[in-house]
């Protein structure tokens, strides 16, 4: 039997719901332990979890309970440091799932474009892996909120 892939590891079922596997390094071997990292819900709260992948001889990996592959839920303080090892193609998704809102203002590019009729504001943060474009209709609401916040 081959190792149990991370997307098949759904335990502990009473408290854990797997949402997205972020990293699955494949089966461990005699020389090197390989691991997986995922986002899930632990008792209704979004969290990162990790596990050591199994081998052909010990497919459940670690942790496991009675031979059933399980996840180790990580403390919230581990989230920010572990974002550096999440692959670029899954980074924005991981941060969105974890409501990750930390950013450095120096890393943001803001572009205002207009074609004479419509204006759009695009905010890009390459380091955090996100881009958002706001149409003209959203700009008025954003302007009102900024004005109100400055007045308070």
pTM for the model stands at 0.64
Biggest CA–CA distance in the chain, Å, is 67
Radius of gyration (Cα) for the chain, nearest Å? 21
Q: Where are the domains of the chain?
A: 6-97, 105-151
Cα distances (angstroms) measured from residue 53 to each of 69, 98, 149: 9, 23, 49
Query: Under 8 Å CB-to-CB from 10, ≥6 apart: which residues?
Result: 16, 17, 18
Average pLDDT for consecutive 10-residue bins of the chain (152 residues)? 85 88 88 89 91 90 90 91 89 82 59 66 70 66 62 63
Query: Under 8 Å CB-to-CB from 84, ≥6 apart: which residues?
Result: none
């Amino acid at each position: 039997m081959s190792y149990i892939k991370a997307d098949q590891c759904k335990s502990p079922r009473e408290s854990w719901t797997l949402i997205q596997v972020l990293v699955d390094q494949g089966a461990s071997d005699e020389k090197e332990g390989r691991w997986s990292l995922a986002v899930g819900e632990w008792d209704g709260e979004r969290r990162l979890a990790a596990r050591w992948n199994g081998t052909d001889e010990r497919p459940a990996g670690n942790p496991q309970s009675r031979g059933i592959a399980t996840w180790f839920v990580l403390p919230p303080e581990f989230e920010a440091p572990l974002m550096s090892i999440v692959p670029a193609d899954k980074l924005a998704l991981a941060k969105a799932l974890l409501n990750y809102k930390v950013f450095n203002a120096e890393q943001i590019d803001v572009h205002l474009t207009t074609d004479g009729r419509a204006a759009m504001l695009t905010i890009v943060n390459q380091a955090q892996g996100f881009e958002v474009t706001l149409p003209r209709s959203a700009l008025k609401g954003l302007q009102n909120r900024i004005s109100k916040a400055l007045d308070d």
